[in-house]
Amino acid sequence: MGSTRGGARDGATGGSRDRDDEGRARSARPRDGLGRPLPYGARGVARQPEGVVRGPGQTVTEAQALLDAGKPFHAHEVFEDAWKSGPEAERGLWRGLAQLAVGLTHAARGNLTGGPRLLRRGAAAVEEWAAGAGAARAHGMDLAGIVRWGRALADEVERTGAAVDAGRCAPRLR
C-alpha cells in the first residue's frame, strides 16, 4: 500500500490512465461524497488515503464520522484498510462492515438492486463473524444492532423503491 492516489497521467506510454507513484492504475478524478467520479478539474471531496493502519478504535471512530457526514463510500475505505491490515481473525468482521458501507453507498446512489443486495451480504458477514467469534460486541460495536440496521435498510429501499439519504440512514456502530 503506501501509495498515494492521483499520480500523473500515463502520457509516457501513450495511455490515458492515471497512475500512482508506483505506476499502478489509479484514477485521479475527483469524487463526490458518495464516491462517484466527477470531471477532471471539478471540486470533489477529499479522498481517504489508502493503506492506513489504524487501531480498531480509531477505525470505528473515523468510519462513524464519515457515515454521519453522509460519506459511506469513504467509510468503506476505512473499513477496507482494517480488513486488509488487521488480524486474520477479524477480517470477516471488517469485510462485512465494508460491504455494509458500500451497500449504503449504492442505496444512496439509487441502485435499488445492488444496494439491498450488498446490505444483506454485509449483514450476513457481520452476523457470521459474530457467531463464530462468540461476540455480540467487538471494539464497542453493537453487532446485532448493525445487522438489524443493514437488513431493515435493505427492506426499506426495496419497499419504497427510492434512494436514501446516506447521512440520515447512517448506522450507529457503537
Distance CA 119, CA 112 (A): 11
Domain of 129 in residue numbering reads as 56-160
The CA-based angle 168-171-174, given to 5 degrees, is: 135
Domain for residue 60, yes or no? yes
Is 97 a member of any domain? yes
Residue 123 lies in a domain: yes
pLDDT at residue 33 in the model = 84
Question: What CATH number did the domain enclosing 89 receive?
Answer: 1.10.3450.10
User: What cell was used for 33?
Assistant: 461524497
Over residues 33-70, the pLDDT tens digits come to 898 888 999 998 887 778 889 999 999 999 999 999 99
Handedness of CA 33, 58, 87, 171 (dihedral sign): negative
Give the pLDDT of residue 127.
97
Is residue 77 scored above 70 in pLDDT?
yes
User: Per the domain annotation, does 32 fall within a domain?
Assistant: no
Residue 83 lies in a domain: yes
Could you tell me which residues come within 8 angstroms of residue 71 by beta carbon, excluding any fewer than 6 positions away? 33, 34, 45, 166
Would 38 be classed as within a structural domain?
no
Chain segment 141-155, per-residue pLDDT in tens: 999 999 999 999 999
Q: How many domains does the chain have?
A: 1
- pTM of the model as a whole: 0.82
Q: Which residue has the cell 466527477?
A: 38
Q: Is residue 156 one of the residues assigned to a domain?
A: yes
How confident is the model at residue 51, as a pLDDT?
Answer: 84
- Give residue-wise pLDDT tens across range 89-111: 999 999 999 999 999 999 999 99
* 45, part of any domain: no
